[in-house]
């Protein structure tokens, strides 16, 4: 896993994109290594949240230029498979059962901006820059558009994707893409602080809440309420709910059962 680094510091784990010589650009190898790291994080009960960041001065510069040249020569079948691999990558991060925190330490471009957008919480260094410049090289940011529309709405997404312009961490925060803008030197510390805060909560409730939040944007009001009702009913049958109520009434720290 030389293209990513994985560090465990419970209650958090950190995956660092490790191709600083090419601004941590995405490659098939990096994506494969990332999946392996996710497998390891998912198995750890002592990890409440995952942090993603980049080695060096960039978070992620998008696709590797070498890969882009190869894409231009692909057959339709190869292009479809490559696109599906990228889709699976974004979707797995978006649907990862543990909360995912992006610590954007520098430029997040194209697929790198997409990676940040599929995380649950995004922290950005004050000098971080974001952008979806795919149209400037004749590409369509199709996969990231699906998530961007959910985050900032159709009109803002249209502007960003059609112009391909870059924007600051402060603007990204204003449009809802970034949760907090922090000093670069305290970026990972803030991410770890959030992970510790999350770790105090029921893992079962956190996981189910995340699943609900993923589903709600695609549901009508009626179907959304039905989904919420079903989840509200389900959580009351869990051991974690019973432990949470007992610990609150007994004024002690909860010992979560994870079920």
Give the catalytic positions in this structure: 134
Q: What's the CA gap between 196 and 10, in Å, rounded?
A: 8
> Is the alpha carbon torsion for 186, 124, 134, 68 positive or negative?
positive
Collapsing DSSP to helix, strand or coil, 54 comes out as strand
Residue from 53, 65, 51, 2 nearest 30 by CA: 2
Output the CA–CA distances (angstroms, integers) from residue 226 to 218, 220, 234, 246, in the order listed.
13, 10, 12, 28
Residue from 197, 223, 202 nearest 212 by CA: 223
Query: How do beta strands 12-17 and 121-125 pair?
Result: unpaired
């Amino acid at each position: 896993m030389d293209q990513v680094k994985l560090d465990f510091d419970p209650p958090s784990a950190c995956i660092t994109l490790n191709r600083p010589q090419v601004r941590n650009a995405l490659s098939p190898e990096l994506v494969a290594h990332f999946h392996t790291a996710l497998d390891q994080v998912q198995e750890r009960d002592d990890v409440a949240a995952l942090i993603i960041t980049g080695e060096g001065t960039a978070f992620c510069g998008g696709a590797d230029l070498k890969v882009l040249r190869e894409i231009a020569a692909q057959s339709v079948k190869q292009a479809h498979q490559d696109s599906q691999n990228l889709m699976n990558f974004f979707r797995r991060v978006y649907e990862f059962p543990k909360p995912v925190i992006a610590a954007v330490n520098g430029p997040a471009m194209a697929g790198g901006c997409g990676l940040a957008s599929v995380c649950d919480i995004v922290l950005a260094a004050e000098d971080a820059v974001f952008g979806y410049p795919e149209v400037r090289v004749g590409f369509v940011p199709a996969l990231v558009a699906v998530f961007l529309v959910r985050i900032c709405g159709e009109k803002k997404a249209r502007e960003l994707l059609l112009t391909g312009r870059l924007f600051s961490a402060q603007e990204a925060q204003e449009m809802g893409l970034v949760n907090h803008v922090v000093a670069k030197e305290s970026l990972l510390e803030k991410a770890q602080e959030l992970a510790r805060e999350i770790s105090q909560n029921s893992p079962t409730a956190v996981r189910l809440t995340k699943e609900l939040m993923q589903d709600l944007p695609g549901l009508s009001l009626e179907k959304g309420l039905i989904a919420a009702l079903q989840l509200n009913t389900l959580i009351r049958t869990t051991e974690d709910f019973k432990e949470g109520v007992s610990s609150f009434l007994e004024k002690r720290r909860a010992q979560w059962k994870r079920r």
